[in-house]
Amino acid sequence: MTDLVAGFLKFRETAFKERTELFRELSHTQSPGTLFIACSDSRIIPELVTQQEPGGMFVIRNAGNIVPSFGAEPGGVSASVEYAVSVLGVQDIVVCGHSNCGAMTAIACDHDLGGLPAVSNWLKYADAAKAVNGCRHYHCEHDKIDALAHDNVIVQLANLRTHPSVAVAMSKGELRLHGWVYDIESGQIDALDGATGIFVPLADNPEANAYPSGAPLSSSH
């Protein structure tokens, strides 16, 4: 806690003062352009990786960067997605996985989660990714986990499209979906190219989209 308090004091004396006008504006309203869905992992800081100022992104974080299919799930993800799209009017949604993810490791390696019933139930939303991942042969465990991180992003994007607010916005060409996987060690990001179904370096493909704008709900990956 000492570090947290020291950090707050530093923020108040430096970063906050440098952004006084910005925070004055944000005290009344917000208009983020992007909904960023990431893992809760402490090593992943969406605003740092994307260099966004406060108010620039609406962020959802949970174990495994999971988006349950639309319904009455208990985690609040559906409500947050709906609010971001229908009220805030975000134009882009990014589902971002990452390397060495604990959730993906537990799934890929069939860890015993008997003592973590809430975690076990939550990770069932990645069952489709687990099934796809299990159909392939891998040279090593690391490759399997890495592949699952990518597979999971694709599955969560598909789940995202079952949300009515997302489906409507996409049908109007008002919303774009993006699938990213961030490598912690290299700082690189792979982005899903919906035209090919392949993850490509984001630095070389900044326009990569998971789905064409306005694509119908039934379109393929």
3-state secondary structure the chain: CHHHHHHHHHHHHCHHHHCHHHHHHHCCCCCCCEEEEEECCCCCCHHHHHCCCCCCEEEEEECCCCCCCCCCCCCCHHHHHHHHHHHCCCCEEEEEEECCCHHHHHHHCCCCCCCCHHHHHHHHHHHHHHHHHCCCCCCCHHHHHHHHHHHHHHHHHHHHCCCHHHHHHHHCCCCEEEEEEECCCCCCEEEEECCCCEEEECCCCCCCCCCCCCCCCCCCC
Q: Return the pLDDT at 217.
A: 42
Residue 72: per-residue pLDDT: 74
Please tell me the distance from the alpha carbon of residue 55 to that of residue 90, in angstroms, as a whole number.
Answer: 12
Give CA–CA dist 41/63, Å, rounded: 7
Give the model's pLDDT for residue 75.
72
- Tell me the C-alpha distance between 50 and 35, whole Å: 12
Rounded distance, CA 192 to CA 199, Å? 4
Q: What is the pLDDT of residue 199?
A: 97
67 — phi, psi (to 5°)? -125, 100
From CA 199, how far away is CA 80, in angstroms rounded?
A: 27
Q: Say if residues 178 and 91 touch (Cβ distance below 8 Å).
A: no
Rounded to whole angstroms, the Cα distance separating 123 from 10 reads: 37
Instruction: Fill in the amino acid letter for 96.
Output: C
Q: What is the pLDDT of residues 43-82, one digit of tens each?
A: 999 999 999 999 999 999 999 999 999 987 767 899 999 9
CB under 8 Å to 201, separation ≥6 — which residues? 188, 189, 190, 191
pLDDT score recorded for residue 215: 45
Mean pLDDT by 10 residues, the chain (221 residues): 96 94 95 98 97 97 96 83 97 98 96 96 96 94 96 97 96 96 97 95 95 48 36
| pLDDT of amino acid 212 | 59
Domains located in the chain, CATH noted = 1-29 (no CATH), 31-201 (3.40.1050.10)
* pTM of the predicted model as reported, rounded to 2 decimal places: 0.92
Q: In sequence order, which residues have a C-beta less than 8 Å from that of residue 110 and are 6 or more positions away?
A: none
